[in-house]
Amino acid sequence: MTETTTASQGSQPSQPSQEFEKVLSGSATQVASFDTHDKTPIQKFQHFLHSSPAAVPLIVLVLSVAIFGVILGGKFFSAFTLTLILQQVAIVGIVGAAQTLVILTAGIDLSVGAIMVLSSVVMGQFTFRYGLPPTVAVLCGLACGALCGYINGLLVARMKLPPFIVTLGMWQIILASNFLYSANETIRSQDISSQAPLLQFFGNNLKLGSAVFTYGVIAMVLLVALLWYVLNHTAWGRHVYAVGDDPDAAELAGVNVKRMLVSIYTLSGLICALAGWALIGRIGSVSPTAGQFANIESITAVVIGGISLFGGRGSILGMIFGALIVGVFSLGLRLIGTDPQWTYLLIGVLIISAVAIDQWIRKVAG
């Protein structure tokens, strides 16, 4: 700086307040109060949605059940049909729980379906190829899923590779390993039920009148309830949101971001392995070609459930509502007898609307 600028600085009054600050003498003296000004109903609604992210999918779910109920009457609106929808979304719901955790960190996991299938194949092959007790084989399958997730987590957190790329690669690697290891061989359902019924554990069911709850459905509900508790009422859960929201801020505030990411991906892998076990219960056999679309279906459930792909926002309950919306549409349209392509078309519309609504809700921060 030169003498000229110094001189011009000197011409300013050296009093504490600047000239332009004089208007402040008449202004409010509170330090920083919270705004309470009236909002229009639309703004109130926007704020409500901002603070309750699962509200939109819940409303859509209730509406779609009501509409199909009116159109189809008792054929749709029966305990049997409604619980059938639950059975059909059980696998997607469990995988969706894993996907939710990853997406909350602003990541994405394309390998969930592959981890699920590989884990189920490990459970099956360890029992039938090596003759291990089914309990041990199931534990090995769960460990296999957790290991796959751990590798994803290491690559994302330590190597700082983008989650999309890491899981795209792992998807191919795990799926190929699955086919190589299993030699593309299916283990038949009757062999499993006669020799290792534990593998089909989640296919058992509870009947209440005409309502049928498979153990897979119960597992999905319990898992989502448990994760809801963990995400909202434990420090680890709050850190999941903080890491997805702003990792630098979380790090400065004292969250170990790398360790969080590794633990989240590992847990996600473990949950996928659980889905693999439930998958055996659902289809009866162990098939290396099952669950091909689980990754896309789980992402669909998460997005329709109002969880932001940018991380840090959304509720795991939204994911389950999203999965149920897809289930209700699929079964409802099939019962009406339309071309199944209409289901995909409507789901596509739902996905885009859900993301548009998410963008609108996030403007509340403006």
Partner 1 sequence: MEPILTAPILTARGLVKRYGRVTALDHADFDLYPGEILAVIGDNGAGKSSMIKAISGAITPDEGEIRLQGQVINFRSPIEARKAGIETVYQNLALSPALSIADNMFLGRELRKPGVMGQWFRKLDRSAMEKFARDKLSELGLMTIQNINQAVETLSGGQRQGVAVARAAAFGSKVIILDEPTAALGVKESRRVLELILDVRRRGIPIVLISHNMPHVFEVADRIHIHRLGRRLTVINPKDYTMSDAVAFMTGAKLPAEAIAA
Interface residues toward partner 1, by CB under 8 A = 1-3, 5-7, 9-10, 12, 14, 16-18, 20-21, 23-24, 27, 30-36, 47, 50-51, 229-230, 233-236, 238-239, 241-242, 245-246, 248-250, 252-255, 312-313, 364-365
CA atoms of 347 and 366, how far apart (whole Å): 30
For the purposes of burial, counting CB atoms within 10 Å of the CB of 218, is it exposed (0-12), middle (13-18) or buried (19 or more)?
A: middle
Q: Shortest distance, CB of residue 364 to partner 1, whole angstroms?
A: 6
Q: Shortest distance, CB of residue 235 to partner 1, whole angstroms?
A: 4
- Give 119 or 315: the residue with its C-beta nearer to partner 1: 315
- Give 191 or 245: the residue with its C-beta nearer to partner 1: 245
CA atoms of 288 and 255, how far apart (whole Å): 39
Separation of first and last alpha carbons in the chain: 38
- Give 2 or 194: the residue with its C-beta nearer to partner 1: 2
Q: Shortest distance, CB of residue 249 to partner 1, whole angstroms?
A: 4
Q: Shortest distance, CB of residue 197 to partner 1, whole angstroms?
A: 32
Q: Shortest distance, CB of residue 157 to partner 1, whole angstroms?
A: 17
Please give the full DSSP string across 201-253, using - where no structure is assigned. GGG-EEEETTEEEEHHHHHHHHHHHHHHHHHHHSHHHHHHHHHHH-HHHHHHT
Q: What is the dihedral of CA 89, 90, 95, 98, to 10 degrees?
A: 110
- Give 295 or 315: the residue with its C-beta nearer to partner 1: 315
Q: What angle do CA 214, 218, 219 make, to 5 degrees?
A: 110
- Give 203 or 312: the residue with its C-beta nearer to partner 1: 312
- Give 105 or 214: the residue with its C-beta nearer to partner 1: 105
Q: Shortest distance, CB of residue 275 to partner 1, whole angstroms?
A: 24
DSSP letter assigned to residue 37: -
Q: Shortest distance, CB of residue 61 to partner 1, whole angstroms?
A: 24
- Give 6 or 190: the residue with its C-beta nearer to partner 1: 6
Q: Shortest distance, CB of residue 255 to partner 1, whole angstroms?
A: 5
Q: Shortest distance, CB of residue 111 to partner 1, whole angstroms?
A: 26
Given the DSSP bridges, would you call strands 211-214 and 205-208 parallel, antiparallel or unpaired?
A: antiparallel
Plot region of 131 (φ>0 → left; ψ -120 to 50 → alpha; else → beta): left
In angstroms, the Cα distances linking 103 to 19, 133, 262, 316 are: 50, 36, 14, 11
Beta bridge partners of 286: 187
Beta bridge partners of 207: 212
Q: Give the 3-state secondary structure percentages of the chain, helix then strand then coil, rounded to 5.
A: 75, 5, 25
- Give 113 or 314: the residue with its C-beta nearer to partner 1: 314
DSSP letter assigned to residue 187: B
- Give 185 or 245: the residue with its C-beta nearer to partner 1: 245
